[in-house]
Structure formats: C-alpha cells, structure tokens
C-alpha cells in the first residue's frame, strides 16, 4: 500500500468523514498515521472533537493517529512572502518595488492557490515521520490542478535554468577581454535555487505517482458525472484511482413501514440503486465502500462504523 493516500471528490460528498475513517482504520491496524486536511472549515477537528493546527497533533484517545489542518489562505500568503524574500536577495533595491508588485499580481492568478498548497504538501510528505499520510483534499477541480503541477513546474524550471545559463554565458563572453573567463555559473545563487526547486517538484511528481487515490461521491447524477470526469482526468495525468467510495446512501425502510415517508424513502433508494449499479458497471475503478447516511454527525462510535465499512487496503 502507498505511503501517501489521497481522498478527493466534489464539495459536500463527505471526503473529510471518509478520509478520517480510513485514517482511523490505519491507526487501529497499528500504523502510525497522519491525516492532513486542507478544508478551511476545519472539519477534521469537528470529526474528532478536537482543535488542530498547522503542526501534527496526536488525536486524543486514538493511539497511532495524528492530524493537522492546513489553512490554504495562510499558505498562499506565506508562499508570497517567501518568494519576495528569495528574489529580494538576488535583486537590487531599485528593482524591489516593481518585483513586489509583479509577485502580488501573480499570486492573484489562477493556480497560485494550488502552487502554494503543493509546496506545503511537499513539506508534509518529506517531513512526516509515520507509516501512512492520508490527505483530505479540496474539491475535485482544485485538487486535479494541484496534481498536475509537479510535471508542469519541473519543465518550467528547466526552461528558466536554461535561460539563466545562456545569460551567464553571454555575460562571461562579454567580460573576458584579455582576462580568463569568469566562471559565474559555478555557485550562481539563482541556478542553485532553481535546481533546489526542481528537486522538490521531482520528488512531488514521484511521490504522487506512487500514491493511492480514492474518489468519494454520492449516489446522485451530478456527483456520478463529476466522478466519471475525475477518473478520466486522473488517467490523463498518469495517476490511477484505486477505488471509489459511495457515501450518503439512503437507508431503506422496513418492509412493514407505510406512509408518505416510507414511500419517499423507497423511491429514493430505488433511484440511488440505479446510480450505484451504473457506477459498478461503468467505472474503471472498483467500488470500495457504500456508506449509509447516519442520523447524526459521524464521529466517535459512528466513525468506527464507517471505518469498518471501508473495503480499502490497509
């Protein structure tokens, strides 16, 4: 089983519940497990009735389990400040103002959120001292953009490094005169930083290719269609989906129950069964869990029940 396990899906399908249940399942099996949430609403804390922060904290009452909650907005701001600092060390003070303006504008563009989050994910994957890291990710679109970044950024860094090397070559040729060439490239801080970034993205790409991805959906048409698209997009990125969890299935009423509520539930269950059958027949990833809706928030004993219903490899 992969060291890193990702749970994704559209908003509102119950990714946090399923990811937390799987993390609990791993911990109960004796694996040192870290569950990582990127949900700004801090739902992981709600599941375990405990506050978490940006550093791993033990989950009270559950051996082998830690959790941390990443604040995406804070990560974007930290990423912005780190970029400003790194460039400020290489540029003259006269250029600092203009560079700051350009960086501020860049961090408002699509993809800045994912780039900042990817950096934090890399830190977590490199620093986590445990057997299993379980990621409860953002809604599908944002997560897929994040997963596509390592390969894209690694190629972009290669182009930047090539341009920097050409610039150094021209500088050296112009500076030779009657002197020996100045080997500016050796020890060049910008090339060194670019190489460091490339190594981070290469690590992320390799880690993601070796990760396990599970999609969470609900038995309604919108969720089924989005899950189909997500399966296709994962294939395009060379990432295989290990399984799909169908969450929030409607419990069927007892045979003797009558009345308006019972009729409604039976019709709803029949419709959902059609959707579930469709998923079993058409998805190229196995269904690894069908979780019924609970009457109260899933935590404590209910989380244990959900964990037991997940046929996900430990």
Measured CA to CA in angstroms, residue 132 lies from 32, 124, 205, 299 at distances of: 6, 12, 18, 21
* Active-site residue, selected from the candidate residues 39, 119, 136, 188: 39
CA dihedral 163, 165, 169, 174 (to 10 degrees): 60
Residue 169 to residue 163: CA distance in whole angstroms: 10
Tell me the β-bridge partners of 6.
Answer: 135, 213
Q: What is the CA radius of gyration of the chain?
A: 24
Tell me which residue has tokens 């944002």. Answer: 142
pLDDT in tens, the chain (314 residues): 569 999 988 888 999 999 999 999 999 999 999 999 887 666 899 999 999 988 999 999 999 999 999 887 777 777 667 766 766 666 666 666 666 676 666 666 656 667 777 788 888 988 888 999 999 987 555 566 666 666 767 777 777 777 777 776 766 666 655 554 455 555 666 667 777 777 887 888 888 888 899 999 999 999 999 999 989 888 888 888 999 999 999 998 888 888 888 999 999 999 999 999 999 999 999 999 999 998 888 988 999 999 999 998 88
Pick from 56, 30, 213: which is nearest to 129 by CA?
Answer: 56
* Residues 87/160, Cβ–Cβ less than 8 Å: no
Work out the angle at residue 227's Cα, subtended by the Cα atoms of residues 119 and 284, and round it to the nearest 5 degrees.
Answer: 105
Residue 187 CA to residue 30 CA, distance in Å, equals 47
Beta bridge partners of 213: 6, 241
Task: Output the pLDDT for position 285.
Answer: 94
Confirm if 255 and 261 have CB atoms less than 8 A apart: no
39 is catalytic: yes
Nearest to 296 by CA among 69, 28, 46: 46
Which residues, listed in sequence order, are joined to residue 249 by a DSSP beta bridge? 292
Structure tokens at 158: 């290669």
Q: Report in angstroms the alpha-carbon separations of 199 from 49, 120, 124, 157, 158.
A: 38, 15, 16, 10, 11
Q: In terms of Cα–Cα distance, which of 148, 154, 144 is closest to 201?
A: 154
pLDDT of residue 2: 64
> Quick one: pLDDT at residue 181?
47
The whole-number pLDDT of residue 193 equals 74
């Amino acid at each position: 089983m992969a060291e890193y396990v990702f749970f994704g899906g559209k908003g509102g399908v119950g990714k946090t519940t399923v990811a937390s249940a799987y993390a609990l399942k791993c911990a109960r099996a004796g694996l040192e497990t870290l569950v990582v949430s990127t949900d700004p609403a801090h739902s992981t804390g709600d599941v375990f009735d405990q506050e978490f922060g940006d550093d791993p904290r033990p989950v009270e009452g559950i051996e082998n389990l830690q959790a941390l909650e990443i604040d995406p907005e804070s990560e974007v701001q930290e990423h912005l400040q780190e970029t400003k600092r790194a460039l400020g060390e290489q540029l003259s003070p006269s250029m600092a103002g203009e560079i700051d303006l350009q960086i501020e504008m860049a961090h408002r563009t699509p993809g800045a959120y994912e780039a900042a989050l990817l950096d934090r994910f890399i830190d977590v994957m490199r620093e986590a001292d445990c057997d299993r890291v379980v990621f409860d990710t953002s809604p599908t679109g944002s997560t897929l953009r994040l997963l596509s970044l390592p390969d894209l950024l690694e190629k972009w860094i290669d182009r930047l490094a090539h341009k920097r090397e050409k610039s150094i070559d021209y500088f050296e040729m112009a500076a030779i005169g009657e002197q020996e060439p100045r080997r500016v490239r050796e020890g060049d801080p910008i090339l060194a930083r670019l190489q460091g970034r490339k190594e981070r993205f290469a690590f992320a790409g390799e880690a993601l290719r070796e990760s396990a991805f599970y999609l969470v959906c609900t038995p309604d048409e919108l969720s089924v269609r989005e899950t189909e698209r997500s399966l296709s997009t994962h294939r395009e990125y060379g990432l295989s989906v290990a399984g799909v969890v169908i969450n929030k299935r409607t419990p069927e009423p007892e045979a003797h129950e009558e009345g308006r509520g019972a009729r409604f539930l039976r019709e709803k269950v029949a419709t959902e069964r059609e959707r579930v059958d469709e998923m079993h027949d058409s998805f190229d990833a196995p269904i690894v869990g069908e979780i019924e809706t609970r009457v109260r928030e899933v935590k404590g004993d209910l989380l244990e029940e959900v964990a037991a219903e997940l046929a996900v490899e430990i």
